[in-house]
Structure 1
Amino acid sequence: MTNLSQRSGLYLWATRIALALFSTAMFLILVKLGFWQLDRAEMKEQWQSELTQRQSSAPLTYDQLVSFPPTEQITGYRLSVLASPATQNIFLLDNQVFNGRVGYLALQPIQVTPDGPWMLVELGFVPAGLDRRILPKVKVITGEVSLNGRLYQKQANPMSSALMPEPGWPKRIQNLNINAISQLLDQPLAPAVLQPDHLDGFDLPHPWTPIPLSSQKHRGYALQWFSMALAFALLILYFIYSRRSKASTKQQDEVTVSNNSDRTNIDEMTVANENKTK
């Protein structure tokens, strides 16, 4: 019985320690996630400030664009070039959403200088049809055109950055992987896509979402994580308080029972003494 009682006591203490460690770890994880979202919000604010500054600065030249280091973030800079279509074939970037509609971003390679890298220009957003087997028809640039607009680079997909091109033209692709497109075309490409302010004869919209989530949304997520941490902490405190309250009540009941037992024994002894006296 003694060994069984000791094992039960050790098991109880081990369970309590495990629950305490788990609760502490969960609370710290929730708090850390909240601070991580605050860091993301601050980073997005800095990035938005940088984008605003780039938009107000003078446009880049094409030579400046192609001389950017591969690791340099180019999104937000403006560019002004005189270009011609390098090919009539276009790419359709899949799984794009604009104003609640699913579709494609149409991209066409253009040529700025005879011996320089080609460049992708965004023709605009094209809604997708009900049958994915039928690709939309998109008007393309056919002659020399003056282009003024802003540059962007899509963020890499953490799950997959593969181009996954489909046969034929227009060619549907799943990711804006410029290096992979360059290999497919067998031509060097500039490191960013040009989104023109206006294309004569084109009426397609040009979505602009360089920052997928705003700093306000990140702060909202941080508030949610901190609220969850607070709720979890209050739940643990309530659990501890209720356990202690139950333990205190049980102890009081045991004391009451013990006192009643002692009184019963005293009463029995008194009655026995009285009987002996008689």
Structure 2
Amino acid sequence: MNKLFSALVAKRVVATVSALLVIAIGCGAGIWQLSRGNAKIVLAANLLARQQMPILSANQGPWTLEEASERRMTARGQYIAQAAIWLDNRPRPIPLAGSNVAQSGFYLMMPLKLDGRDEVLWINRGWAPRNNENRETLPPVTTPNHVVNIEGIVFAHPGRVYELGGGKISAEINKPRIEQNFDLVAEGKLRGWKQAPFILREVEAGADDGLLREWAPLTNGVDRHYAYAFQWFALAFAGFIFWLVSGLRQYKRQGFVNGDQK
């Protein structure tokens, strides 16, 4: 047993340390991927539970973010189309069937002046594809010029993407503009509006306005996390097997050389 330990560990310090490092990294990354997948499942369950609570009305507010977050809400008002913000580099929420390539486009953020209230509620109206030939050409979208009733789910923000340069907001606030990210607080200060402290992501799928509102479920990507976890655990196992097999071979070679094998 002492000879085996010596052959596997004592005489192979560098190989042993390297194997332990690979095993630690593989197991750590695998556990992290599993935790991310489980966190998405828990988050989706909490979201579903909150959506089953009574529907709120934005016109009967004011509501805080804590009160309204992830709950269903209705809103009645009129869009301020000239203040629209197009959030760039947003992939299609649910890819086209049979396509493995993410289609890039925009989220359309548009303020809604609430009927009967001196308050604005920002609406994520949906997703539209980008013009691949000219990025500055905005998708053709229909905006009602009358009071509308919409329903959606409350979120703190529409999601963020990596942005270089600190995200400076354009000074041209009287016409639609393209931005990488949406800063609710900054928009309120820039325009001097009284705003709801959250955004409403519209859920109506039947409106023929040029926007897609088939939102991806929060559990989207869980299978990918589990697949990554399997790969990391497999790497750790492979590292252990390589260390063990190479050590046993060295042990057997030493046995032959020393005349221990007959």
TM-score, with structure 2 as normaliser: 0.76
> Is residue 235 of structure 1 aligned with residue 239 of structure 2?
no
What's the offset of the Cα at 1:167?
6.4
Q: 1:248 to 1:102 in 2, by over 3 A?
A: same
Q: Residue in 1 aligned with 2:158?
A: 154
Q: What root-mean-square deviation, in Å, do the aligned CA atoms of Structure 1 and Structure 2 show?
A: 3.2
Contact 1:85–1:142 (8 Å) recurs in 2: yes
1:128-177 CA distances to partner (integer Å, 9 max, x unpaired)?
11211333343324221111222233344477694444565321010133
Aligned residue-pair number:
240
- Segment of structure 1 superposing worse, 48-57 or 162-171: 162-171
Query: What is the CA–CA distance in structure 2 between the aligned matches of 1:51 and 1:15, rounded to whole Å?
Result: 55
What's the offset of the Cα at 1:105?
1.2
What's the offset of the Cα at 1:215?
2.9
Quick one: which amino acid aligns to residue 246 of structure 1?
R
Quick one: which amino acid aligns to residue 174 of structure 1?
Q
Equivalent in 85, 100, 109 of residue 79 of structure 2 = 85
Q: 1:236 to 1:93 in 2, by over 3 A?
A: same
- Segment of structure 1 superposing worse, 164-173 or 154-163: 154-163
2:182 match: secondary structure: coil
Q: Which runs of 5+ in 1 are unaligned?
A: 1-12, 257-278
Higher-helix-fraction structure: 1
Contact 1:59–1:78 (8 Å) recurs in 2: yes
TM-score, with structure 1 as normaliser: 0.72
- Segment of structure 1 superposing worse, 238-247 or 166-175: 166-175
| Structure showing greater Rg | 1
Q: Residue in 2 aligned with 1:36?
A: 32
What's the offset of the Cα at 1:91?
0.6
- Identity percentage of aligned residues: 21
Q: Residue in 1 aligned with 2:224?
A: 217
Quick one: which amino acid aligns to residue 154 of structure 1?
P
1:166-223 CA distances to partner (integer Å, 9 max, x unpaired)?
5653210101332233333333432332233337552421141352744333222222
> Is residue 57 of structure 1 aligned with residue 53 of structure 2?
yes
1:60-98 CA distances to partner (integer Å, 9 max, x unpaired)?
2325563234xx8823x1101211224532110101122
2:146 match: secondary structure: coil
Contact 2:40–2:219 (8 Å) recurs in 1: no
Matches within 5 A, 1:187-266: 187-198=193-204, 202-209=209-216, 211=218, 213-252=220-259
Q: Which runs of 5+ in 2 are unaligned?
A: 1-8, 96-101
